[in-house]
Every structure is written in C-alpha cells, then in structure tokens.
Structure 1
Amino acid sequence: MAKTTSAPVPTFSTENFQALCDRVAARDKDLKAILMAYDYPPMWTRPNTFESLIHIILEQQVSLASALAALNKLRDRLGKITPAGLLALTDEELKACYFSRQKTVYARHLAEAIESKQFNLKALEKLSDETVREKIVALKGLGNWSADIYLMFVLRRTDIFPPGDLAAVNALKDVKRQSKDVAREKLAKITMRWAPYRTVATMILWHYYLSVRAKKTPITEKIEKAVVL
C-alpha cells in the first residue's frame, strides 16, 4: 500500500509564503541579504495536472524558454492538454511541437499511465514526499529532478532542495562563496540548515539567480551592502 502521512504535509500558500521566507532568512544572513536586495521571490506554483508534468518533461536539460515554446505549441495544437489528446497525436505532430524523440516516448508513457489509471495525480496530494518521489521516478523519463520540481511547484511541499537543478546549485555556491568543484555533500549540509523550509530557501536562491542575471550586477556587492544594512 502507498504510504500516506500521519499528519497533514507542510505546504506553502499565498497566506504563509512571505512569512516562511522571513523565517528561513532569519536563520541565514545570506538569504536575508537577498531579500533585502531583491525583495521576496515570486511564489512559483503550477496546478496538479497532466499539463504540468508534461511541462516538467519538456524542461529537462533545455532552457525554460525552449520548454515553454514547446508547451505553447502543444497548447495551440490541442487547446487543452490532456492524456487522450496527446495520445491522438502522431510522432510527427509532436515533433512539430518541438518534442524530441525521447521526450515523445516519455510523454506517451505518462499519458498511458494516467489513462489506464495506473498513475493518479490527485492521490499524490495525500502522500508523503518520499512516496510521491517513488511514484514519480517509477515513470519512464522522470527522475529525481522531475520529482523535486513536482513536489515544489505542484504540491507546494516546503522542504525540498533540488540538487540536480543547476540554477539553484550555482546560486547556492555563489551566495555561500563556495568553489565550483565543492563537494555535493558540503552543499547538502548547508541546505540542511534550512530544513524544514528548503523549498522556500531554494525559491529565494532562484530569485537571486534571475535578478542578478537580469541586472548583470555582482551579487557580492549586493550581499555586502545588505548585510551591513
């Protein structure tokens, strides 16, 4: 039997998100400095739908812009993205929506699992993080990074750090002034200090990453000024 949680799983929402940002930042001067320099991060979320998991598949190993372009092509083709609608498309039609051969296989496998009732998105909402991860990675083409993004964006679980996400990891190295080749174990120890709010801390890191890239200003200067203040 699938393992359910004995108590409600901690999640974030519009009502508590900024308070959780403040709570985790109160433990970490670097996160606090990011909030002072760039304000609160957006609360990135997605609905618990087939489309959201297709979006995650499309985001694997490509830019966010490329993935969104493919998703929008699929939306234009289908209107509403559903398992039945996707399965009705030919491989050539999916290729015209910028699906690679591999991602076509993954998307079809997911659609078939949902259509056959072997995979139930709604049921995942009541399961523990660990059990959700097990069910996600059991699907073809969906690994730990996909499970992390699903847990964070869709189920809004509060305590996930995605070690396979380059933007989050590179932001963490920068903010914590770590070398490029720092051991993953050391980074994991740093992120454990943010438990049980590692998701919220990660969103602060993503916000920092996107803000710095947009403004093209050295984060070290921003951090130093914010800490002094």
Structure 2
Amino acid sequence: MTTAPSRRALKAACEGLALTDIALARAYDTIGVPVWRSEIPGYTMLGRMISHQQISLSAAAAIWARVEAHLGEVTAEAMLEADPEAIRLCGMSRPKAAHLISIAEAMVSGQLNLARVCAAPLDEARAELLAVRGIGPWTAELFLLYAVGAMDAFPAGDVGLIEAHKRLGKYETRMESKAFTAHAARWRPWRGAATHLLWGWLHLDRARDPTP
C-alpha cells in the first residue's frame, strides 16, 4: 500500500513554500497542488529505479521489460536465483546488475526491511537504505518520496529540479548541486513538496514545448 500526504497537507506545504521562494511561488501559481508520485514499496520498485539511472526513459523501459520477461515476477528471490550474465544480457550494465543482486541479498537476509523503513523516522529510514550497497542518496530519497510519502525527502543533485528552479527563478545559470542543496534548506520541512512542485511544473513545461 502506498502512502502520500493528504491534499490538505500538501496544499498547506505549497502555500508555505510559495512564501519562501519566488520560483516555487511561480510553480504553484502555474500548476496548483501537484500530484504526489506514489509507488508500492518493494524490490521491484528499487530495481526499476536502479535500472533507470543515467539513461533515457525509453532505453530504461526497454531494458526493464526484458528483465521482467526473463524473471517473470521481479522479486528479490527471483533475482538471486537468476544467472547474473542473463540479467546483463537484458541490457543492464555490470555495476547495475551487481547492485540489483546486492539489494536482493539485503532484502532476503533481513538487512533491509522495507516495512521497517516505511515505519521508521526519516533519518533512520534513510540510514537503513543507504547501508545497502547499490542504494545511493538519490535512490534512497526517491524511495522515501514515492513509497513513504516523506514530506522532507529531497533528491539533492537532481538535474531536473535544478533546471526547473533556474527557469522559474529567471536565473542566468543553474546552481551547482551543493549550492542548490544549501538553498533548499530553507524549504524544510517540505522539501518533498517543493520537489513535486518543481517536477510538476517541469513536466507541464515540457509537454507544452517538447523540443530539446
């Protein structure tokens, strides 16, 4: 079962954010309360996020479809029973295949318990995710956003967020990742809501003008 903030809580967060940052105010004026992205917590969710890193959406979807065709139901147990070379032949890079296996091992051993993660305070949940080889900060924050509905989860360094903020704020250049993370500190405890505002605006803007 997925968890997302209520529309009332998200609206209150957006109204507060609009008072702290002109870029977020413009995003809110344009799209209103954003739709919160939600997914069911599980190995499939984590595996899909790993497969989608640093490649185009279309390429990632094709690769993941081949993994699903090979494994059937994508579970941690099925991944551990599979031939790693067969997973690589689906289009996975060697590091990604290794990460899929290490995450599966952590889940099967009990080192990573996603029910526990979803119920834990944010810092504890983040620490349990990051303790697993193959789960980096970006993947951990996306899990906390999508599966936990954490209002202050924040995928620092996400290029889409930085680009949306630059354009909405009418800045000449993008902030560097470190500067953007420092800037986003003023959005606490609603950085997850700010993330959805920026993503929502960027999605709408790209739909209006799909040219690169």
Of the structure 1 ranges 64-73 and 146-155, higher mean CA displacement relative to structure 2 is found in: 64-73
SS in 2 for 1:206: helix
In structure 1, what is the Cα distance between the partners aligned to 2:65 and 2:12?
34
Asked if 1:137 corresponds to 2:114, the answer is: no
In structure 1, what is the Cα distance between the partners aligned to 2:156 and 2:189?
16
Query: Equivalent residues in 2 for 1:94-133 (5 A)?
Result: 94-133=87-126
Asked if 1:57 corresponds to 2:50, the answer is: yes
Cα distance, 1:50 vs structure 2: 0.8
The equivalent of 1:203 in structure 2 is 196
Query: Equivalent residues in 2 for 1:16-165 (5 A)?
Result: 16-165=9-158
For 1:148-193, what per-residue CA distance to the aligned partner results, in whole angstroms no more than 9, with x for missing partners?
Answer: 1111111110012222211112212222233436344542343222
> Is the CA contact (8 Å cut-off) linking 1:163 and 1:169 kept in structure 2?
no
* Structure 1 spans left out of the alignment, 5+ residues: 1-9, 218-229
In structure 2, what is the Cα distance between the partners aligned to 1:204 and 1:25?
10
In structure 2, what is the Cα distance between the partners aligned to 1:19 and 1:79?
42
- Equivalent pairs counted in the alignment come to 208
Cα distance, 1:19 vs structure 2: 4.4
In structure 1, what is the Cα distance between the partners aligned to 2:169 and 2:112?
39
In structure 2, what is the Cα distance between the partners aligned to 1:84 and 1:186?
41
Structure 1 vs Structure 2 CA RMSD:
2.5
In structure 2, what is the Cα distance between the partners aligned to 1:29 and 1:11?
25
Larger Cα-atom Rg = 1
The structure showing larger relative contact order (alpha-carbon pairs under 8 Å, at least 6 residues apart) is: 1
> Are residues 57 and 181 of structure 1, via their aligned partners in 2, closer, same or farther at CA, if it must alter by over 3 Å?
same
> Is the CA contact (8 Å cut-off) linking 1:137 and 1:143 kept in structure 2?
yes
Q: TM-score, normalised by structure 2?
A: 0.85
Say which structure is richer in helix.
Answer: 2
Cα distance, 1:144 vs structure 2: 0.9
For 1:16-59, what per-residue CA distance to the aligned partner results, in whole angstroms no more than 9, with x for missing partners?
Answer: 43443344335444323223323443221111111111112112
Cα distance, 1:104 vs structure 2: 0.7
* Structure 2 spans left out of the alignment, 5+ residues: none
Counterpart AA for 1:165: D
SS in 2 for 1:114: helix
Cα distance, 1:129 vs structure 2: 1.9
In structure 2, what is the Cα distance between the partners aligned to 1:73 and 1:140?
24
> Is the CA contact (8 Å cut-off) linking 1:114 and 1:120 kept in structure 2?
yes
The equivalent of 1:220 in structure 2 is none
> Is the CA contact (8 Å cut-off) linking 2:184 and 2:191 kept in structure 1?
yes
Cα distance, 1:82 vs structure 2: 0.7
Counterpart AA for 2:206: R
